[in-house]
Amino acid sequence: MTVENAAALQRANEGPILGKGRMPQGSWRTRRRLRIVPWRGDPSCMLLGPARGGRRPTAADIRRAALELEKAGVRRLVTPAMNRFEAEAFYQAGFAHLEALHLLLCRLNRVDLSDLSVKADSIGLATGRRWHLDGMLDVDAKAFHGFWRFDHLALKEARTATPSQLTRFAYPVRRGLAQGVARRPVGYAVTGRAGNRGYLQRLAVDPDHQGQGLGTLLVHDAFRWLRRRGADTCLVNTQESNKRALALYEHLGFERQNEGLVVLRWDLAP
């Protein structure tokens, strides 16, 4: 199987790369325990993480999957953000530290929603539909450095990670134009909810529009949606080096949790 085929398989949602009959004995455990997704449109790099709602993978499961992917031509593996407990088996398998993340939690009943004044009054908010995704990805590409940028698959993953989700984008309001015509995203947020817990999955603002209150606007909008649906807390993670996002989140009532998260990498081939 070529790397391109592997990526195409995943894109078409036809199941894991490590399909039945391709793995040595015991591979069914790997299939149930691991999630494998092409990383940001780069077929030589794969995201390898614990399967959602699955059993915890062992170091042997992870090593087996890595070997199989290496044979398929994958050169580099990256994990999703994991707590130290989840990361243990990945370290044992051969992964190394890539990035440390802060995990922050906001208690939504403590947020003063009456004080949500919109600083940017020339900005509108709308629910992101299929035809807005390209515009939101353009914002993402401007806001994030290369390696961390979302592609369509990553955005889809973020939007389907929880049973319910809200995708919203901010756009400049241009008077005199027919509604809908001028809705070019300049910032967007993906928020998920599972039970009474909310997750701020992605937040990005076009650098040309940063520092004008759009980040605040989008997070407040997410809080409102979560509260309406009965969520009482919201979690977000951000790279320890992302001082700007940290300042924003703490400003909005998020508190750093003692236990942070890590993202790991494994360079299989130079």
Residues that bind ligand COA (CB under 6 A): 143-144, 203-205, 210-216, 238, 242, 244-245, 247-248, 251
**26: region left, alpha or beta (phi > 0 left; psi from -120 to 50 alpha):** left
CB nearer to ligand COA: pick between 58 and 242: 242
Q: What is the signed CA dihedral for 35, 38, 39, 42, rounded to 10 degrees?
A: 160
- Least distance (Å) from ligand COA to the CB of residue 243? 7
CB nearer to ligand COA: pick between 43 and 187: 187
DSSP 56: P
Q: Measured between alpha carbons, how far is 216 from 200 in angstroms, rounded to an integer?
A: 13
Token duo for residue 140: 């993402």
C-alpha distances out from residue 112 to 106, 128, 143, 145, Å: 12, 26, 28, 33
- Least distance (Å) from ligand COA to the CB of residue 120? 8
Tokens 């389907």 -> residue: 160
CB nearer to ligand COA: pick between 143 and 231: 143
- Least distance (Å) from ligand COA to the CB of residue 245? 4
CB nearer to ligand COA: pick between 72 and 219: 219
DSSP 169: E
- Least distance (Å) from ligand COA to the CB of residue 210? 3
| Residue closest to ligand COA, measured at CB | 215
- Count, in order, helices (H) and strands (E) of the chain: 8, 11
- Least distance (Å) from ligand COA to the CB of residue 251? 4
- Least distance (Å) from ligand COA to the CB of residue 165? 17
CB nearer to ligand COA: pick between 191 and 216: 216
Q: Measured between alpha carbons, how far is 11 from 5 in angstroms, rounded to an integer?
A: 10
Burial class (CB in 10 A: 0-12, 13-18, 19+), 11: middle
CB nearer to ligand COA: pick between 110 and 244: 244
- Least distance (Å) from ligand COA to the CB of residue 170? 9
Burial class (CB in 10 A: 0-12, 13-18, 19+), 31: buried
CB nearer to ligand COA: pick between 117 and 160: 117
The b-or-e profile of 186-195 (16+ CB within 10 A means b, else e) is bbbbbbbbee
